[in-house]
Amino acid sequence: MKDVILVENVWKVFGRTVALRNISIKVSKGSVFLLMGPNGSGKSTLLKIVTGLIKPSRGKVEVFGTNPWKQRHRIFTHLGAMFEDHAPPDWTSGKAYLEYKSILKKAENPEKEALAVAKPFGVDTFWKHPFYTYSSGMKRKLALADAFINDPDLVILDDPTVALDKEARLALQEIVVNRAKQNKTCVIASHIITEFEQHITHLAFLNLGQTIVTGKIEEVMDKVGIHQVTIRTNKPGKAAAILMKKRYAIKVYGNTIIVEGSEDANEIVKLLENLGIKAETEESKVNLWEMYTRALTSR
Ligand SMILES: Nc1ncnc2c1ncn2[C@@H]1O[C@H](COP(=O)(O)OP(=O)(O)OP(=O)(O)O)[C@@H](O)[C@H]1O
Ligand SMILES: [Mg+2]
């Protein structure tokens, strides 16, 4: 399947600052793609290039097979985006703004669409007031609602959870997960991420404008040297004791045991079952922070 986003050898230079150095990433359809890196690593710059808001200095960028800088109008209705500097005119109400954007995005019923995207984040509770009266969290919620107008095939969210309350974070998580089930793509940039950890399918770690590692979660775990097996058992205490005796490094979370440094789940399950302990393998729990730390320090 064709990639939704293709970035090849992209550079971005602002005066004397090289913000992006030869970045290459691919985002496939239906993925929940995390772009993670320290402050100033180039996340927002890259996402603005992908959205067609700024021009790359060098390199190739395609979104749905189209050059976003030259032909932004062709991707505009399929792409929703939110950035930290999202700012409607001060005097516009959130309602008027979302309805206006819904018209631009060719929604069948702009008023209905505006309400549909406002509701999950509670924007409709304050949206009759002008934008300049909004708190930072309210501004973020409006920007998020905007990004989801017409349920676009691709949504780009730059640091979406900053300033958001818990309800809005959960609402966002639910939307992203549901979209992935419908094979719709989300790219999320962050320097810290917790809610999405278990839902991320692909990622790229950036540092100093460069891609340190990118790919599917499992590929990245492999590349940064995280090998682990997760098993579930009804006798975690006994199982842990056996595994420790066999010199496995383990972590126990309730009925779940993570066995580090091993990739052979069958061997571990067999070992336990031979000693009368029921065990089954589970999909591996992803520890993004560990992956991130390893990726950044291995350079
Ligand atoms: N318009 C601009 N003019 C000059 N330099 C810029 C501009 N935009 C970004 N930069 C520089 O490019 C680099 C990357 O910035 P960018 O905003 O992409 O980082 P980021 O990874 O999004 O950081 P953060 O986590 O703080 O949001 C930084 O050194 C920044 O100062
Ligand atoms: Mg940024």
Domains observed in the chain: 3-222 (3.40.50.300), 226-297 (3.30.70.790)
239-249 pLDDT, tens per residue?
A: 999 999 988 88
Query: Left if phi > 0, otherwise alpha if psi is -120 to 50, otherwise beta: which for 170?
Result: alpha
Distance (Å, rounded) from C-alpha 148 to C-alpha 153?
10
What confidence score (pLDDT) does residue 113 get?
98
Q: Which residue has the higher pLDDT, 223 or 23?
A: 23
User: What is the share, in percent, of the chain residues with pLDDT greater than 70?
Assistant: 98
DSSP symbols for 213-274: EEEEHHHHHHHTT--EEEEEES-HHHHHHHHHHTT-EEEEETTEEEEET---HHHHHHHHHH
Span from the CA of 198 to the centroid of ligand 2 (angstroms) = 22
Task: Write out residues with Cβ below 6 Å of ligand 1.
Answer: 14, 17, 19, 37, 39-45, 159, 191
Closest CA to 60 of 13, 24, 15: 24
Among 12, 17, 296, which is best to mutate for testing ligand 1, by the most ligand atoms less than 8 A from CB? 17
**CB-based burial, 60-79: b 16+ in 10 Å, e otherwise:** ebbbbebebbeeeebbbeeb
Distance (Å, rounded) from C-alpha 69 to C-alpha 288?
32
227-277 pLDDT, tens per residue?
A: 788 889 999 999 999 999 988 889 898 998 988 877 788 888 999 999 999
In degrees, to the nearest 5, what angle opens at C-alpha 194 toward C-alphas 189 and 195?
90
Contacts of 204 (CB under 8 A, 6+ apart): 25, 33, 34, 35, 36, 211, 213, 214
153-184 pLDDT, tens per residue?
A: 999 999 998 889 999 999 999 999 999 999 99
